[in-house]
Amino acid sequence: MLEYMKKSFLTGVGLALRSKKEIGELAKEFAKKSEMDQEQAKKFFDELHEKYDDTKTKLDTKIEEQIKKVIKKLDVPTHSEMKKLVDRIDKLAKAIEQSKK
């Protein structure tokens, strides 16, 4: 039962949506309630932080990918496309200015 609860606690988006402080507090409370010794509690805490970092990274990547898809679908110009356009306008403005002289 304890192992099942531990695995449940380590999985899912819920883990990534919590702050590291909350994760630490939950881990301490869980270790206390499950009567883990200090070594088990530290191992659990470290495992939880590692899983948190991994899950957060994966979630951030997925969100980024989805945002890129939406932007592409909406046909919104990217920053680099806008920069190219501004650079092109600047060159044209200089060419026009020089042709007037």
Q: How many helices (H) and strands (E) does the chain have?
A: 5, 0
**98 belongs to a structural domain:** no
Distance between CA 77 and CA 62 in Å, rounded?
A: 21
**20 belongs to a structural domain:** yes
What's the pTM?
0.52
**34 belongs to a structural domain:** yes
Mean pLDDT calculated for residue range 11-39: 70
36-72 confidence digits (pLDDT tens) = 777 877 787 788 778 878 888 888 898 899 988 888 8
Q: pLDDT class for 23, splitting at 50, 70, 90?
A: confident
Contact (Cβ atoms closer than 8 angstroms) between residue 13 and residue 53: no
What's the pLDDT at 85? Answer: 96
**93 belongs to a structural domain:** no
**19 belongs to a structural domain:** yes
What is the chain's mean pLDDT, rounded?
A: 79
**23 belongs to a structural domain:** yes
Helices 20-33, 2-10: inter-axial angle, 10-degree rounding: 180
**84 belongs to a structural domain:** no
Quickly list H helices, the chain.
2-10, 13-17, 20-33, 38-74, 79-100
The number of domains in the chain is: 1
Nearest to 47 by CA among 65, 31, 68: 31
Contact (Cβ atoms closer than 8 angstroms) between residue 16 and residue 34: no
State which residues form the domain around 39: 2-75
